[in-house]
Structure 1
Amino acid sequence: MSKSYIVPSSEIPGYSPIYRHPKYKSGTHNGEFADITTLHELFGHVVKTYPKKEFLGARDYYPETNSFGQYAWITTTEAAETISELGSGLDMVYAKYAPEVNSSTGQQPIGILAMNRPEWLLTELAAFRSRRYTVGVSDIAGVESAEYNINSADIHVVVCSIDKIPRMLDRADKTPSLKVIVSMDKLDCSKPSVATQAFSKDTVDILKTRAESLNIALLDMDEVIAMGQLNPTEPALPKPSDLCTICFTSGTSGAQKGALLTHEAFIHATRGAHLSLEQHNTTYLSHMSLMHIFDRYMVYSFMYGMVRIGFFNGDATKILDDMQVLHPTVVAVIPMVLNRLYDRFAEETIGVKGICGKLSRLAFRSKVKRIHSGRGYRHSLWDRLIFNKVAEMFGGNVKKLLSGATPLSSEVQDFFSVSLSCDVIQGYGQTETVAGGLIQMSDDCTNNNIGVPNPGVDIRLRSIPDMGYNVTDTPSPRGEMMIRSKILFSGYNGQPERTKEIMDGEWMATGDIAKINSDGSVSLVDRINSVIKSASVMWVEPTPLESIYSSHRLVKFVYVYGFERAHELVAIVVPEPSTFVPWARSIAGKTDANLTELCNSSDVANRITQELRTLASKNQIPPPAMIGAVHIEPVPLDQINREFYTSSLKIRRPIVNQHYKARFDELYSTLDCITDPKFFLEHGK
């Protein structure tokens, strides 16, 4: 029986049939929660259904010791009061400083620049109260600069944490539309937070003087709330067709684009996620940037069944500390972060030498078999002896672990299913689909797929014959995944031509190659613009390969590269120092060599290439996808150039390829896998 519902007689030449969620064969989900049509109404549902429940929480901060305590919470009712007062205050601010509205929508944007914290969501919900829409602003240098966000969205008011204010003022001459900055932190620094550490009354006075000289009003959130208390305004409620946010894409293949997302799209996507996940009384750790879509998609999806949202302390390296205090029931993590956690915990359990390691591996295999046979996640003996220790590091209460953005390897998915005794669910979505699209169902224990279409989402594949992917392929139809649904964006802000490029009538072309598996689930192959064509006339998919190669105990990350004149791939290897250094010292015969010296050793490079080829053989990777030579990079790629990754930690292949072009050519010049003699003439070989 197919996991997806296939719409009868829906195939047309060059396209596969249409696939839908098996429980929602009509393609809609307008029954439950049909009265909720905007995110403002969704929050109203939370307040009405779950009054005075803990809602938004942040950890108490102690500046004397630079440490964090327990979570302090505000309730749904308290949040509603704050949102009403803040919304009224913002009405006063806009009326005084920025009365202009968008001529096409009759709405006004508000920028938000801060790490995840309660004030982020309070600001967004206060904006919705008056038909305003939010724009997440990034202060990362380069293609995701705040200047681009502010100017392209014509933002007049930005709400930010106090530590962002100096840079906002620095760029004032490049953001002429900016008229007001509202600090989430008190400008008198009377309430300490991580953001206020470098500030005092004197430094804030300097900021105020500077803002005044630039004709920018500088207020704090408490002042705006006080304005709203003195001058309460009537809400101007949003319509489903209103914009709720402009969300900038991550930009893996070029400059970022501002996706226009309506309340209707957001509600359709989040309602579908709620119906798929069926989560109630969720405790959720918010740590992925709220500027981007995935975390907000999670937050609003869980609101249907009530959610306590605890925000991380701001330091991504201390996420586990937050989990042990919050005890979340749901955790959402992108694969890059999950892979790092896997490296740590696998090394301490199934990677240990001796009898403890053997016992751990026996326990792991036993539980994997148990889970995949449908006999449940718990094992009284193995959990007590081994795996509860890992579960406790995640707070000891996780019921679902969600992963998106890129495919998750089967090893990592199985490891966390076993260790946390919970569903590990892969999903798929894009900014243009409000992060919704496909998701594995809770009772699905299979690997290497992204599940089935969400309720209310249609998908189909489109043949790409010039790349050898066709919907007539057997046993699995393959092609570019297309999506049709109310979750789709309304276009790119100010870029109608780029919008047209990805639309095929009602269908959006995702740019992702997928296949339909025999059980009706969907698996990603790769991005169209990152597939490598080898000299063997074979299209090589880098992302799943990198996932396999990066699972080796000696490496932290592997980046593969190839081109159509070569029969093999080359790669950048970022080593895992704790395992790599002792291993490499034994290869190089230098007991005191440091990491950089070992990375420059040709003997070490040759041996690690052999290690990766052995791993490839075990995973039945074909010869054109084998690595022939490597460059070992001692520094993680995001530390070499922050533009190698988007802010949602997706790698930008064109930028990486350009940076390492000379190195890749050098590696290929040492191999006997080039079919074109011109290559050797070009490189003097």
Structure 2
Amino acid sequence: MQSVVISISTSIIKGLLYVYDTVCCIPDYLIRGGPEKVMISSRIKARPLENDGGAPYRSVDCFDHLTTSPFPDCVTLDDLFKRAVRRFGPQNCFGTREVLREEEKLQENGKRFKKLMLGQYHWMNFDEVNQRVDSFGQGLMALGLQPRQYVLIFAETRAEWMVAVQAAFRYNFPVVTLYATLGDEAIVHGINESQVEYVVTSMELIGKFKTLLKEMRTVRHVIYMDHMEEGKKMDKEDFPNNVQIHAMSSVQQLGALPVNQHPTIIKPVREDIAVIMYTSGSTGQPKGVMMTHRNLMCGLSGQIQRVTGLGPADIYIGYLPLAHVLELTCEISCNAYGVPIGYSSAQTLTDQSSKIMKGCKGDACELRPTLMAAVPLIMDRLYKAVWMKVNEGSKLKKALFTLAYDYKARNLKRGYDTPRCDKLVFQKIRDILGGRVRLMLSGGAPLSPDTQCFMNVCFCCSVSQGYGLTETCGAGTVQETTDISLGRCGSPLWCNQVRLTDWVEGGYTTKDKPYPRGEIMIGGGNVALGYYKQPEKTAADFIDIDGMRWFCTGDIGQWQPDGCLQIIDRKKDLVKLQVGEYVALSKVETVLKLCNLVDNVCAYADSAKMFSVCLVVPNDKSLVALARRIGITVAIDNWQQLCDNLHVEKAVLLELQNYGRKGKLANYEIPQRVKLCTELWTPDTGLVTAAFKLKRKQIQTHYESDINRMYA
């Protein structure tokens, strides 16, 4: 009876929608401009310099030259910030939420977890930030730091991070960055290789230095960020005698003294190194990428152009690691255009985030941003969380939501908005991120078309997928906001050009039909100098051709007819099976990770075998539900036993294989064995990078016995 009611209800609504679409067809055509949006979306965006699939592509909007600066009067990154101070001085610049109360909750595993009750955002304006930048820079000089001498920033994303980096840009201190979540070995490696004497960190992380300083040969000054830590005292005991510990506020006070004012400083020039950014090390020890002021200014000039309407009316939420090029360039761009930045973290972003106390708003709801950057992992989690909530509801609610979702997705593809549907159905979902996000930039890894469509539909905002690397200062390609297509990463930015080169071993060539395919190379002023103290690796990955610097990415792309790039593979992720077929591991993972049983997944293939396998970190709630569905109850309360249960393992494999077929994976691409992993993959475990990219070699080593069992 219930199914009949649902069928009748959905049929009635479908009929009403059909009548509504028919009645509104002419007004929509005249007012909402669907066909015009489709035409703009499909326009030619880039074309090759020559009539050859391997020729470089450039944006048609900047075909005759490549841009080198966001503004003609700005030469360095400090020029960019000073211009913003002159234009937006009294306006909000950086905002941080007040911590009203902290509580430690004891978990079942015996670990303690911090919960926060947070208040409102407190803001510094551009003038105040500029004063702090000056004082901190002068204070560092008073401590003995010299121009062109390195300073390390090792801290979580926060306002003080940006104050420190802007001071370094102004006083010509090249900044070395390390992810706050790196393991001890990688931290020691980065510090010893760069030989930094001055470290800027936070109170939360300074404890790491206390235990590691004996392995760091050069560190002499450690400065901890204390601005938002009123009432907390730093324990300076047990630090080596040759290391001085300073509060950031005391360094600023030191720099504000008249005796320490330096009217003449060695200003940076375009070719000075601005940042040595250590990558997250997905294939080994992190590499330090050397970026000059020129490199970053070129990259910013291209990125900024793709964000339409950027200005003080926007609000940006900063929560991704500032040691990642995506977040750093986004925040510098926001500074340049007077966009206020409110700081957050992945643990406090939404009302349901792990560190948010019950009854407290998450940062996004409090800040209500209009702009944010995100990595696919975060959007995939939102995707699964919403659909799990929908599936837990009544069959009628699920049917109605699915009907509304399909209706809006169909209209977006035709170029039409659905304002009434947005308000009635999707407003509550949109409110998860504050209800005002107009643009989300995705980077760091390929974004699934399903997830991109979901974000467009449910969060009622444009999701632009970008492609860039640390080695190209984050610049490369970005999808235009008017591009309504899915699964592509846009056309070349105004600052660089992109070409494909043959990779015969993998079967990709620029002569392929219907579209040229090959390894992606990015050329332009945004391409970095190379890797710090690694000349052989630099020579292998960076090439100079006719006066232009090129970076060989290792990613495989194909050109679309409109000049947009689609990432289809990665050289290091491609494995040839014994049957002769190639399996793209990242492609398999992109499909499978959207299954609600999966929190994380790593596909693996042995070239001496006939099939691939996968390692899965399961979603606890979904796995328990599946176990109950197949009649397994004895191991429900024991996570290890549940994951080791062969019946559960088999049921998960069947679900994944069905999901793979729905995701249009070929039979040889679908894993034939699965291992359920009880351990969460976090940067602390060393199995994923700080940007949550898989460390394949480390995962393979860690689960070697399980992989052998799956192939046995």
TM-score, length of structure 1 as denominator length: 0.89
Measure, in 2, the Cα distance between the counterparts of 1:486 and 1:275: 16
Contact 1:55 1:74 in 2 (8 A): yes
**1:53 matched to 2:91:** yes
Aligned to 1:93: 143
Q: CA deviation at 1:141?
A: 5.7
Say which SS state the counterpart of residue 60 (structure 1) adopts.
strand
Measure, in 1, the Cα distance between the counterparts of 2:593 and 2:154: 34
**Match 1:580 to one of 623, 626, 642:** 623
Aligned to 1:379: 419
- CA spacing shift, 1:616–1:351, aligned 2, 3 Å: farther
Measure, in 1, the Cα distance between the counterparts of 2:229 and 2:200: 19
Deviations 1:547-572 (A, max 9, x none): 21121222223321112233321111
Q: Which runs of 5+ in 2 are unaligned?
A: 1-41, 104-115
Aligned to 1:660: 703
Q: CA deviation at 1:249?
A: 1.1
Amino acid at match of 2:319: H
**Match 2:274 to one of 208, 222, 244:** 244
Aligned to 2:557: 514
**Match 1:233 to one of 262, 265, 280:** 262
- CA spacing shift, 1:144–1:648, aligned 2, 3 Å: farther
Contact 1:588 1:604 in 2 (8 A): no
Amino acid at match of 2:327: D
Aligned to 1:38: 76
Aligned to 2:442: 403
Q: CA deviation at 1:46?
A: 0.8
**Match 1:418 to one of 452, 457, 461:** 457
1:207-286 equivalences in 2 (<5 Å): 207=236, 210-211=238-239, 214-230=241-257, 231-234=260-263, 235-278=265-308, 279-281=310-312, 282-286=314-318
Contact 1:327 1:395 in 2 (8 A): yes
Contact 2:190 2:286 in 1 (8 A): no
Amino acid at match of 1:540: V
**1:315 matched to 2:354:** no
Bigger Cα displacement from structure 2, 416-425 vs 337-346:
337-346
Amino acid at match of 1:239: V
Amino acid at match of 1:220: A
Say which SS state the counterpart of residue 349 (structure 1) adopts.
helix
Amino acid at match of 1:625: E
**1:73 matched to 2:105:** no
Bigger Cα displacement from structure 2, 465-474 vs 344-353:
344-353
Aligned to 1:466: 505
Aligned to 2:222: 181
1:437-448 equivalences in 2 (<5 Å): 437-448=476-487
- CA spacing shift, 1:406–1:314, aligned 2, 3 Å: closer
Q: CA deviation at 1:494?
A: 0.9
Aligned to 1:682: none
Contact 2:320 2:345 in 1 (8 A): no
Contact 2:69 2:75 in 1 (8 A): no
Q: CA deviation at 1:91?
A: 1.4
RMSD: 2.2
Amino acid at match of 2:708: D
Contact 1:138 1:144 in 2 (8 A): no
Bigger Cα displacement from structure 2, 643-652 vs 140-149:
140-149
Measure, in 2, the Cα distance between the counterparts of 1:419 and 1:523: 24
Contact 1:585 1:598 in 2 (8 A): no
Measure, in 1, the Cα distance between the counterparts of 2:180 and 2:453: 37
Q: CA deviation at 1:242?
A: 0.9
**Match 2:58 to one of 20, 26, 35:** 20
Say which SS state the counterpart of residue 425 (structure 1) adopts.
strand
Q: CA deviation at 1:600?
A: 1.9
Stretches of 4+ moved more than 6 A in 1? none
Contact 1:139 1:146 in 2 (8 A): no
TM-score, length of structure 2 as denominator length: 0.86
Q: Which runs of 5+ in 1 are unaligned?
A: 100-105, 670-685
Aligned to 2:367: 326
**Match 1:300 to one of 332, 349, 363:** 332
Q: CA deviation at 1:497?
A: 0.9
Aligned to 1:680: none
Aligned to 1:390: 429
- Report the identity percentage: 26
Aligned to 1:369: 410
Deviations 1:50-77 (A, max 9, x none): 1211001100112466421111000001
Amino acid at match of 2:526: I
Say which SS state the counterpart of residue 637 (structure 1) adopts.
coil
Q: CA deviation at 1:190?
A: 7.4
**1:636 matched to 2:680:** yes
Measure, in 1, the Cα distance between the counterparts of 2:45 and 2:709: 47
Aligned to 1:150: 191
Bigger Cα displacement from structure 2, 262-271 vs 349-358:
349-358
Amino acid at match of 2:585: P
- CA spacing shift, 1:350–1:488, aligned 2, 3 Å: farther
Measure, in 1, the Cα distance between the counterparts of 2:468 and 2:598: 29
Q: CA deviation at 1:90?
A: 1.4
Q: CA deviation at 1:143?
A: 6.9
Aligned to 1:598: 642
Aligned to 2:30: none
Aligned to 2:209: 168
* Count of aligned pairs: 640
Measure, in 2, the Cα distance between the counterparts of 1:325 and 1:645: 31
- CA spacing shift, 1:626–1:165, aligned 2, 3 Å: closer
1:407-556 equivalences in 2 (<5 Å): 407-505=446-544, 506-556=549-599
